[in-house]
Amino acid sequence: MQYKDYYDILGVPRDADGAAIKRAYRKLARKYHPDVSEEADAEERFKEVQEAYEVLKDAEKREAYDRLGSNWREGDPFTPPPGWEQDLGGHAGGFRGGADFSDFFASIFGAAPGGGPGGGPRGGPGGGPGGGFQMRGEDRNARIRIRLEDAYAGATRAFSFVTTEIGPRGEPQQARKTVNVSIPKGVAEGQRIRLAGQGGAGFGGGPAGDLFLEIEFEPHAVFHAEGRDIHVELPVAPWEAALGAKVRTPTLGGTVELSIPPGTQSGRRLRLAGRGLPGKVAGDQYVTLRIVTPPATSDEQRDLYRRMAELMPFDPRAGLGT
């Protein structure tokens, strides 16, 4: 009998965690599935992958297997040490798996009652009543671009994507799908929306995976978002900034009145509480003021600027030492 290096079969290091082992198994199970693989030894490799995963996914079986030591190599002659089953403390006997596993597996974990090493009809983890191999489809990730207005109020948008489906003869094939996506009110950029069952197709009648859509905002002519906060730049006239004023400013929920304090300088930022994206704690809107100088296109307007210079002597560069 030959030793089987289950870590080598799955292509993972001996200290791999459960998530890495599961990813490796899913990748190889798809590669060597007899229904879709063109590899000459696909069925045999598929069974090896199933067997390795059956051991390494289970903490007790993995611990028992690791006690054999790490000096063995794949294909080495192997005989269980004397008293091996007694040393396992009951972890070895009576395995009732659903797969036709090897003699090596049986020598460690025992044969199930009423059958060979696997005890029962062939089939992989998650196999159905008939013993066929089933596996859940892969989860997929994509991005969806939406308007800020959609994030503020909620919306339904059509989303098209390319997915892999299992054809009538069991072969994977690409297909374009369009689904209606409900955009939750108050969703922020970077958050994900889960579409159950819209991911990769399952094998052997297994359920499809999910599709996760990451939210991305389209560029906006007026606003930009930072988390749930909304930012806007608001132009104001010099006299509005100097004397103070009430001006109208846009928000995602409509136009509101904003009070500008007297003596405001360009670049000052004012806060409108709760006017950002909604949520358990709503975001705010921040308004950055930008003073815009009116053009002087007539003699009368130019005279007015000259008169202001006489009445209001002011050096904006005084602090620069010039």
Q: Do domains 6-109 and 223-311 have the same CATH topology?
A: no
- Of the candidates 45, 25, 38, 44, which has an alpha carbon nearest to the alpha carbon of residue 172? 38
pLDDT 10s per residue in the chain (322 long)?
778 889 999 999 999 999 999 999 988 888 887 777 777 788 888 888 888 998 899 888 888 888 777 666 776 777 666 555 544 544 444 444 445 677 778 777 764 433 343 433 333 444 433 345 567 778 889 999 999 999 999 999 999 988 777 666 666 677 888 999 999 999 999 999 999 988 877 776 778 889 999 999 999 999 999 999 999 999 999 999 999 999 999 999 999 999 999 999 999 999 999 999 999 999 999 999 999 999 999 999 999 999 999 998 888 888 887 6
6-109 sits in which CATH class?
A: mainly alpha
Confidence (pTM) = 0.61
CATH number of 223-311: 2.60.260.20
φ, ψ for residue 213, nearest 5 deg: -105, 120
Domain ranges of the chain: 6-109, 140-217, 223-311
Spatial distance between the Cα atoms of 99 and 123, rounded to a whole number of angstroms: 5
Query: Is the domain covering 140-217 a CATH 3.40.50.300 domain?
Result: no
Catalogue the E-assigned strands of the chain: 140-146, 155-166, 172-183, 192-195, 211-217, 223-226, 229-236, 245-251, 254-260, 269-272, 285-291
